[in-house]
A and B are shown apart, each in its own frame.
Chain A
Amino acid sequence: MKYVDEYRDGELGGALKARVEKLMDGGRHYKIMEVCGGHTHTIYRYGIADLLPSNVELVHGPGCPVCVIPMGRVDDGIAIAARDGVIFTCFGDMMRVPGGHGTLLEAKAAGADVRMVYSPLDALRIARENPQREVVFYAIGFETTAPSTALTLMRAKAEAVSNFSVFCNHVTIVPPLRALLESPDLRLDGFIGPGHVSTVVGARPFEFIPRQYGKPVVISGFEPLDVLQSVVMILEQLKDGRCDVENQYSRVVPYDGNRQALRVLSEVFALRPHFEWRGLGFISQSGLRIADAYADLDAERRFEVPGVRVADPKACQCGEVLKGVIKPWECKVFGTACTPEHPIGTCMVSSEGACAAYYNFGRFSREKVAV
């Protein structure tokens, strides 16, 4: 595949591996957090841990959109989906996320009309094709996916599609990062910055990390060579005693972001005073709601939802995994009570979730394998 294989070249990977080894400072243990679930997926999908020395540890961060959805918001979605006449649409991963009362997939089996879509525009198309039904899109994701939801809402408003609405769970990336950096039990040497979010917000919003917390940030692409090169760039900063925001993903990310997308976001969404994150609790100004100008298309205002806060299951340590405090396998229920087929926590659901990625791709003793 042209323009893809180039970023998966094993020989270049070998060269970067040698560069990493050269940059190592003797016995020092490096802990680097990849913020984004997409990076976690790449790291396991391509076995990048195999190519790094054992004292470079990659810690998985909070940037998996499905993983951060609290159980109560899943229940709210199921309550809407179960209403007569509703067609409930969401991304595929979201269907297997357990709420307090089962998953959307189970709601579908029990009779709800739940459909997987690849884009909010597909949901809008379904609404146009079914004018007699209420069509709801369950929106999730960071600044990456929020603009496509925003554009869909703008189009729905322009076309006056009255049977369409959005249940908004969009979140922003900076508040959880700040919360993470403030937490006392975390020791990190640098961040692999979120590439897709940065295509929208740019690199500038991450400048507080080097400035206030003294940690290097490298905005990274999602192919294996991107991630390895970003590790090299972070190690170079550490070796030089620098800490900056650097942009490895310059082929896609403009330093100042995508102004048009940001304008659309500010028109369609407003900040919530606070929003609950799975495992992380309430974080102020971290969630987006639909702005008043689009209130007619807001499913939270159109339908009554339980809106009940459901405490995370006791055994589940998703919060610690999302903060990078523990590795997936260190969770008490990992791989035994909590598996991809019967997940307890959200991190075990999405292929971008740290636990699912580790379980599906990384779950083997490296000494035993001689492929």
Chain B
Amino acid sequence: MSARTSEQDVGTREREALSRIERVRRMPPRFRDERITMAHGAGGKATQSLIRGLFVPAFASETLALLDDAGRFEVDGAPLAMTTDSFVVKPIRFPGGSIGELAVNGTANDLAVVGARPLAMTLSLILEEGLAADDLAAEVEAIARAAAIAGVEILAGDTKVVERGHGDGLYICTTGLGRIDDRASLSPRSLRPGDRVLVSGRIGDHGTAILLARGEFELDADIRSDTCCLWPAVDALLNAVGPSLRCMRDATRGGVASVLNELATASGVAIAVREDQVPVQPAVAGACELLGIDPLYVANEGRLVAVVAAEEVDAALTALRCVRGCEDAAEIGVVDVEPDGMVIVRSAFGGRRVLDLLVGDPLPRIC
């Protein structure tokens, strides 16, 4: 065999191996772990196996199976969206925010990114024996303030107290209700080749701020959580490019990388990202570099990913950048045909790599 044919043979065998792997990956994930590990809560592959391998099959809901940030439904012709969330962040106060503010914004954002104006929410507080009354009062105030800013009314609540050692001071569970905006026609399955991918600002601030606030790494930097209500950003996008807006996602746990993977899978398309176009502030880039973490996997609490038709990308960016907190919005990539279900990144250096769902749990509790 000549050197040339042997090389071609290697190429063919490698391609065969790769398509075998993609076949395996496309099979619905099974939940086959013996116990829950921290990885099941990290938003990556283990979380996916839990959701798609256990929850979705058990509840047999078409709306749930869409795996959107909130479920859409109608009551007497009124299009509504509903979501639920729980907050176990540690520490409960961190630079740029606190658990109470996070609970309101996180719930409102799950509604906002499916095109629903957040209207109302409920609040369950799980308090640990010994929690200082001042800390609780401060969080209640933070919740009230954030709810006022988001235009959300708190309709009902519940309180439980658990013994010392069974909670980290304060956990918050919420339910959110919103009304789907007439201008929105969004679906995670609607991405088309040629569409553009946007982020609403600099990424990685929240996760990095929490990581440093925990004080385990003896790193110090002025990084603040990005927690905020995303409805103004969504409102601006719907106003500017409504019908051309394909889908939005709140880039929380698992970061922008996980959102892009979920969308690529849901729509059966490829997403190509230009790493040098992804906005990351220098302090976050530096901290992530030291800790060996890719900012694309780091959680955000006030950043959305939006996919828009190519011809409306400039209008969408202009509209976003007029919203407070979204001044650094950027186009980071484009939707392509192949390889479907995958996200590929071109690094500033020129080479390409796969950007897959996260495996394992590199980060502590961040929301």
Contacting residues, chain B, for A210 (C-beta < 8 A): none
Give the distance to chain B from A226, nearest Cβ to Cβ, in Å: 12
Q: How many A-B residue pairs have CB under 8 A?
A: 132
Against B, the Cβ 8 Å flags (1 = close, 0 = not) of A45-79 are 11111110011000000000000000000000000
A115 to B34 Cα, complex, angstroms: 20
**B20 adjacent to chain A (CB < 8 Å):** yes
Pick out which of these stretches binds chain B: A81-89, A145-153, A213-221, A332-340. Answer: A332-340
Which listed residue (A1, A105, A225, A359) contacts B37, Cβ 8 A?
A: A105
Q: Are A371 and B349 in contact (CB-based, < 8 A)? A: no
A175–B342 alpha-carbon span in the complex (Å): 41
What is the minimal beta-carbon distance from B226 to any residue of chain A, in angstroms? Answer: 20
Say yes or no for A96: interface residue by CB 8 A criterion.
yes
Measured between beta carbons, the chain B residues less than 8 angstroms from A360 are 354, 356, 359
What is the interface residue range for chain B against chain A? Answer: 35 or more
The minimal Cβ–Cβ distance linking B295 to chain A, given in whole angstroms, is 12
The interface residues of chain B lying within 8 Å CB-to-CB of A48 are 351
With an 8 A cutoff between CB atoms, is A160 at the interface?
no
- Of the candidate stretches A6-14, A232-240, A300-308, the one touching chain B is A6-14
A residues near B362, Cβ cutoff 8 Å: 92
Give the residue of A1, A47, A55, A327 whose beta carbon is less than 8 angstroms from that of B353.
Answer: A47
A 335-371 binary contact with B (CB < 8 Å = 1; else 0): 1100111000000000100000001111111101111
Are A363 and B21 touching (Cβ within 8 A)? Answer: yes
User: Do the beta carbons of A368 and B349 come within 8 Å of each other?
Assistant: no
B37 touching A108 by the CB < 8 A rule?
yes
A329 to chain B, nearest CB (A): 4
A 1-50 contacts with B by CB, 8 A: 1, 4, 8-10, 13-14, 27, 29, 44-50
A4 and B356 in contact (CB under 8 A), knowing A330-B13, A335-B21?
no
A110 within 8 A of B: yes
Which residues of chain B are within 8 angstroms of A45 by Cβ–Cβ distance? 347, 353
Give the shortest distance, in Å, between A194 (CB) and chain B (any CB): 18
Residues A364 and B13 in contact in the complex (CB < 8 Å), given A92-B362, A336-B24: no
Is there contact, CB below 8 Å, between A335 and B20?
yes
Query: Which residue of B has the minimal Cβ distance to A50?
Result: B351
| Residue of A with least CB distance to B45 | A341
Contacts of B34 in A (CB 8 A): 106
How many angstroms between the C-alpha atoms of A1 and B292 in the bound complex? 14
B352 touches A29 (CB 8 A): no
CB distance from A336 to the nearest CB of B (A): 5
Check if B18 sits within 8 Å of A365, measured CB to CB: yes
Which residue of chain A lies nearest to B270 when distances are taken between CB atoms in the complex?
A: A369
State the main secondary structure of chain B at its contact with A.
mixed
Decide: B285 and A371 in contact? CB cutoff 8 A: no
Q: When the two chains form their complex, are residues B350 and A369 in contact, meaning their CB atoms are under 8 A apart?
A: no
Query: Which of A46, A105, A359, A371 is within 8 Å of B344, CB to CB?
Result: A371
Q: In the bound complex, what is the Cα–Cα distance between A1 and B7 (angstroms)? A: 40
The closest CB in chain B to the CB of A122 belongs to B216
Tell me the bound Cα distance from A341 to B40 in angstroms: 11
Option from A47, A109, A329 in Cβ contact (under 8 Å) with B352: A47
Contacts of B20 in A (CB 8 A): 335-336
Asked whether, in the complex, the Cβ of B350 is within 8 Å of the Cβ of A336, the reply is no
Cα A49 to Cα B352 with chains together (Å): 9
Provide the residues of chain B in CB contact with A225, threshold 8 Å. Answer: 349
The interface of chain A, by Cβ under 8 A from chain B, is: 1, 4, 8-10, 13-14, 27, 29, 44-51, 54-55, 92, 96, 105-106, 108-110, 118, 122, 224-225, 327, 329-330, 334-336, 339-341, 351, 359-366, 368-371
In the complex, 21 of the A-B residue pairs with CB atoms within 8 angstroms, ordered by the A residue number, are A10-B349, A13-B349, A13-B350, A45-B353, A46-B349, A47-B350, A48-B351, A49-B351, A51-B350, A92-B360, A105-B39, A106-B34, A106-B37, A118-B217, A335-B20, A335-B24, A336-B24, A340-B45, A360-B354, A363-B354, A364-B339
**With A1-B289, A14-B350, A363-B356 given, can you name 11 additional A-B contacts, CB distance below 8 Å?**
A47-B350, A51-B350, A51-B351, A92-B360, A118-B217, A335-B24, A340-B360, A360-B356, A364-B352, A365-B339, A371-B336
